[in-house]
Chain A
Amino acid sequence: MDAQKIDTSIYVAVTEAIRNEAERIISEGEVYAIVGYTMGRRKASVQPIIVSDASAAIKLIFTPASLNNLAVYLTKAKKEIPKNGKIGIVVKGCDLKALVGLMGESQLKREELYIIGVPCVGVLASTVQPSRELTSESIAPKCLECDVRMPVGCDFVPNVSLPKKPQIDAKYASEIARLESLTPAERWNYWKEQFSKCIKCYACRQVCPFCFCEQCLCDRNKPQMVETTPRPAGNTAWHIVRAMHLAGRCAGCAECERVCPMDIPLNLLNRKMAKELKELFDYEAGFEVNDKGPLATFADKDDQSFIR
């Protein structure tokens, strides 16, 4: 089947609106800086930028190559970004879920954020060149399962109307179903092979908005909690620890999977955890500020069938 083209023409108006709003809120002193997207050197490439001068607002853009979840820059782990008052941030719906989660975990205060939400028809997969046209083939897999194309609860959302969502088969759901249909031994082999590629560069951790620990357990050497070397035991332990720590918190921005230089399908683990949370606790992360996630509380109605 031919790739289906996805209409991204609204991004021109979105870019214009982001620039205008950024210029206004910086020059009026409402925020001290804005975290957004700007052009890179390579054709059509996009990278994060921190703008603190109203005259630089013109550098801000939004295109199908605006992949990053910028929420990571607001956490305490990113000491490079000064935290002195109210900061602006450009977010897609998926990125906004991370902000919501961070507010629930007392990492961010709503009143210290000026949230510019982007009406989004999707971004490119990390596996294609940034200059590629957005189609049913080149779109990031997470966008096929998106339920927040129009972010809500923001301070500003460009006034554009979203085109109809094209019907494209979801990839994560079918891949999870495929893995669930395997025997435990087959599944173990699949992950063993994937984890064998891991080089412990920790890009997955460093881009994750929820990996804000200042000292990661997996970096400790006195005592060493998990093997830090990139070998089967340590790699597997790392990825299990990562998936478990994100259960009930990860809202699916898929940054871990996007940045993995070894193409390990990390978001499959996160989506599987999210699916379990939905089945066990009817809980979905990222929709409302909730200071007691399902794995941080006990309720009488919780499933206790595991006690035998």
Chain B
Amino acid sequence: MKRETMQTYITQNNLNALLDSLIEAGVRVVAPRISAGTPLYEPLSNSAEMVMDQLPRRSAKEAFFPVCEDIMSYKKEGQQVSLTDIDPSRFPETVMVGVRPCDAAAIPVLDAVFSWDYKDEFFLERRRKTTIIGLACTTADDACFCTAVGISPSGTKGSDLFLTPLEDGGYACEAFTEKGEALITGNSLLFSEATSSKSLPIAEPESETFDLKKVKSWLDEHFEDPLWDGIAVRCVGCGACAFVCPACHCFDIVDEGTEKAGKRRKNWDACGFWKFTHHASGHNPRDLQPKRYRNRIMHKFKYYDDKFGQTLCTGCGRCVRICPVGIDIAAIVEEISKK
């Protein structure tokens, strides 16, 4: 049964007041802010730092899956070695605000991976403790293609509470989960009844909708195909596309430190790197960039679908904007869908 959603309204001032009171109460409030000149989702020290009109350069995934995190530490004293685990119960309660639909939609996609056979407590504990406040998009550029992969600029997938900017400067709010409702009921004075003010125009990307079933069935049959060389011979092998992606989730684990003390760390990895599948023997099954780029497309539009029944791309367009050599995933999927 579909649950009835709670609908209400909040002014910009009250939204700021809500965030400030949360920060005051020790909640980690993460929102888009300008960090050394670049828009990023980062913890706020007060609500004035929040910028709602720019898509953060990196996605929202890092609130649960940080760029780098310690997972264990070790110490050696004499012959005595001691290991200390990280205690995930100490992760802070978090509210994430201004999360774009393409970023929010990727969160359930990540949930599936991190709770599949192995339960990743680092990811899952942060997830449990985080409330996602989504924000409808009123701006888009020609790299955006969320609608092409079945997401919408006003899509609420992944959001606990969703804000739609209105003409009067406030937001229509809709709660979809208990976490979202709790935020409203716990701060009911800041919310008021839904108003008659109209929504600001929602920015619809101009791209066509991809036939993802057709794309997948082509991929099922074309592991070897001249297409891969054609699109990726120019790939220079950096990890930028994977690192800005809201859905890419590969990571590496390294031990760093000295003989006496150090840490085991988990950090983002990318299939574009030549070392990604480099075996200890020296053999590399993906020895050239087109084979690595093929993996990126296969993982997003076939392997993930095989396992979890959805697509590993939400059309945010970040990889399209930042690829140093203009590799355009939307153009590639469009090409495949026309085969």
Measured CB to CB, the residues of A under 8 A from B are 40-43, 45-50, 68, 72-73, 78-81, 129, 193-194, 196-197, 199-203, 205-207, 219, 221, 224, 227-231, 234, 255, 258-259, 261-263
Contacts and interface: CB of A to CB of B under 8 A. Distances in A.
Nearest to B267: A229
A43 B240 contact: no
Contacts of A258: 324
A46 to B, nearest CB: 7
A80 B290 contact: yes
Contacts of A49: 234
A2 to B, nearest CB: 24
A235 B335 CA distance: 38
5 contacts: A79-B287, A200-B239, A202-B273, A206-B236, A224-B254
B67 A230 contact: yes
A42 to B, nearest CB: 5
B238 interface: yes
A50 B233 contact: yes
Given A72-B236, A80-B235, A206-B238, A230 B38 contact: no
B275 interface: yes
B326 A227 contact: no
Going nearest first, the 10 A-B pairs with the smallest beta carbon separation are A47-B326, A259-B324, A203-B238, A41-B331, A206-B236, A206-B238, A201-B239, A201-B240, A261-B322, A203-B240
B237 A206 contact: yes
B233 A197 contact: no
A296 B322 CA distance: 35
B219 interface: no
Contact of A199 (B232, B243, B331): B243
Contacts of A46: 326
Given A43-B142, A202-B239, A207-B236, A196 B256 contact: no
A91 to B, nearest CB: 16
A118 B7 CA distance: 60
Contacts of B325: 47-48, 68, 207
Interface string B252-289: 00101000000001011010010100000000000111
Contacts of A234: 256
A24 to B, nearest CB: 23
Contacts of A79: 287-288
A43 B270 CA distance: 28
B240 to A, nearest CB: 4
A261 B142 contact: no
B320 interface: yes
A43 B275 CA distance: 34
A193 B36 CA distance: 6
Contacts, number: 119
A230 B142 contact: no
Interface in B218-258: 232-240, 242-244, 254, 256
A49 B234 CA distance: 7
Given A205-B238, A259-B324, 7 more contacts: A43-B142, A47-B327, A80-B289, A197-B38, A203-B239, A207-B325, A230-B67
Nearest to B287: A79
Nearest to B325: A48
A231 B328 contact: no
Given A197-B35, A201-B238, A80 B68 contact: no
A263 B37 contact: yes
B238 A230 contact: no
Contacts of B327: 47
A258 B254 CA distance: 30
Contacts of B234: 47-50, 73, 80
A259 B36 contact: no
A42 B243 contact: no
Contacts of B239: 199-203
B57 interface: yes
Nearest to A129: B141
Nearest to B317: A42
A10 B14 CA distance: 55
Contacts of A201: 238-240, 242-243, 270
A236 to B, nearest CB: 14
A41 B238 contact: no
A8 to B, nearest CB: 19
A231 B320 CA distance: 26
A206 B267 contact: no
A84 B317 CA distance: 36
A229 B68 CA distance: 7
Nearest to B235: A80
A205 B270 CA distance: 15
Contacts of A197: 35-36, 38, 40
B238 A207 contact: yes
Nearest to B327: A47
A224 B258 CA distance: 11
Interface string B36-58: 11101000000000000000011
B222 to A, nearest CB: 19
B71 to A, nearest CB: 11
A259 B289 CA distance: 18
A225 to B, nearest CB: 12
A157 to B, nearest CB: 24
A282 B40 CA distance: 42
Contact of B267 (A78, A207, A230): A230
Contacts of B330: 41
B143 interface: yes
B288 A80 contact: yes
B38 A228 contact: no
Contacts of B57: 261-263
B233 A207 contact: no
B267 A42 contact: no
A201 B236 CA distance: 12
B325 to A, nearest CB: 5
